[in-house]
Amino acid sequence: MYGPLMIDVAGSQLTEADRDVLSQPEVGGIILFARNVETPEQVRALCDDIRQVQPNIIIGADQEGGRVARLRDGFTPLPAMGRIGELFDRQPCQALSLAYDCGYLMASEVLAVGIDISFAPVLDINGVSKVIGDRSFHPHTEAIVALSMQFMRGMKAAGMATTGKHFPGHGSIAPDSHVADAIDEREFDQIMAVDLQPFVQCQPWLDALMPAHVIFSQVDDKPAGFSKIWLQDIARKQLGFDGVLFSDDLSMKAAHVAGDAGARVKAALSAGCDMALVCNDREAALLAIETAKQLPKPNQQRLHAMRSEIPQWQGSLEATCAQFDYWAQAKQNVTEAFFGNPSDCDSKDKPLAVQSQAVDPTNYSS
């Protein structure tokens, strides 16, 4: 039985407090952050330990590429998706091929260390948003659709379910919902014509959606993740989406309009989310657990579909990834296209090292 909450753990190994929280039936997921990651071997040991405590659990992470990458040291670097979009404008066939390679490479390495899903891809447009930027594939929906479909084909070929974010689109509103309230005042028809199109056209490839903490004031006075109009009337009924709905992190500033952590969890689940994320705040997570005890259980079939077949650990990331038929080729293609020769990846004097240190726009809690 999967509980409706996804929370986090303190560090690179489980504490007794972590074990106590993990054993609660309301906890159905764990999300890993950079503080939980040291080496591939350590991450795999952590994930295996988590499953010893709670076998029915979905382990996730944000491994988008570029600035947003929780798994760095010892893992193959991935470009920001916007770099693939830039290439698409010059060499569309090569960009489409590399989008597939990036999806496969990302998914195979994430699965190898015991993580079920990366919350990817970003389907927002690269518009005026301060937090999206080159996390998006492109400023134009047609390119986003083409590239993200290839990326998701790669993910699925490696065995990972996909999560499109941030429904119905965060790219056209400037404020960063991690640290500020975000309100989009456009009419629904404008949103449907632009921002929603990647979600609509990519739906056959999507296993889950993550709604934005953005208020689309002409549609509803609540953020999309708390809105029955967006989640039930539009996503479920109008668009016919039947996959998982993950809330975005309910600790983000824009989610606080719903009240304390318990109220936020209740608002998200009541609106139609299958699983609510409560991150970087253990006190809030404990309150969320108490609240979730009073709420209905989530759709088990939907959540189970997000579980992946984790490969047997072979002693190292490279040996474990060798079980994926296309991993070595995808790694070579991506590394040569975006970072130079594979041997360059360990040099701190290369552009890659600069990118690795770029500010992560989602690291709002530090």
Catalytic residue list: 178, 248
The answer to whether 251 and 221 are in contact (CB under 8 A) is no
DSSP codes of every residue in 84-114: HHHHHHH-HHHHHHHHHHHHHHHHHHHHHTT
**CA dist., res. 167 & res. 270, Å (int):** 17
Q: Helix 261-271 and helix 282-292: axis angle, to 10°?
A: 50
CA-wise closest residue to 151 among 100, 202, 104, 208? 100
Give the integer Cα–Cα distance in Å for 26 and 303. Answer: 13
Q: The tokens of 282 are what? A: 């253990």
Class of residue 20 by CB neighbours under 10 A (exposed 0-12, middle 13-18, buried 19+): exposed
Structure tokens at 70: 């929780």
Rounded Cα distance between 191 and 212, Å, is: 13
Residue 283 and residue 44: Cα distance in Å, rounded?
Answer: 27
HSE at residue 268, side-chain half, CA atoms within 13 A, is 37
Q: How far is CA 24 from CA 18, 115, 265, 329, 347, in A?
A: 10, 20, 16, 42, 44
> Which string of DSSP letters, residue by residue, matches 60-74?
EE-EEETTEES--TT
d(CA 59, CA 49): 12
Residue 274 is encoded by which pair of tokens? 């299958």
Q: What is d(CA 299, CA 288) in angstroms, rounded to the nearest whole number? A: 18
Sequence-distant (≥ 6) Cβ neighbours of residue 114 within 8 angstroms: 43, 44, 46, 47, 48, 51, 59, 310, 313
C-alpha distance from residue 132 to each of 123, 228, 235, 277, 360 (Å) = 10, 25, 22, 20, 11
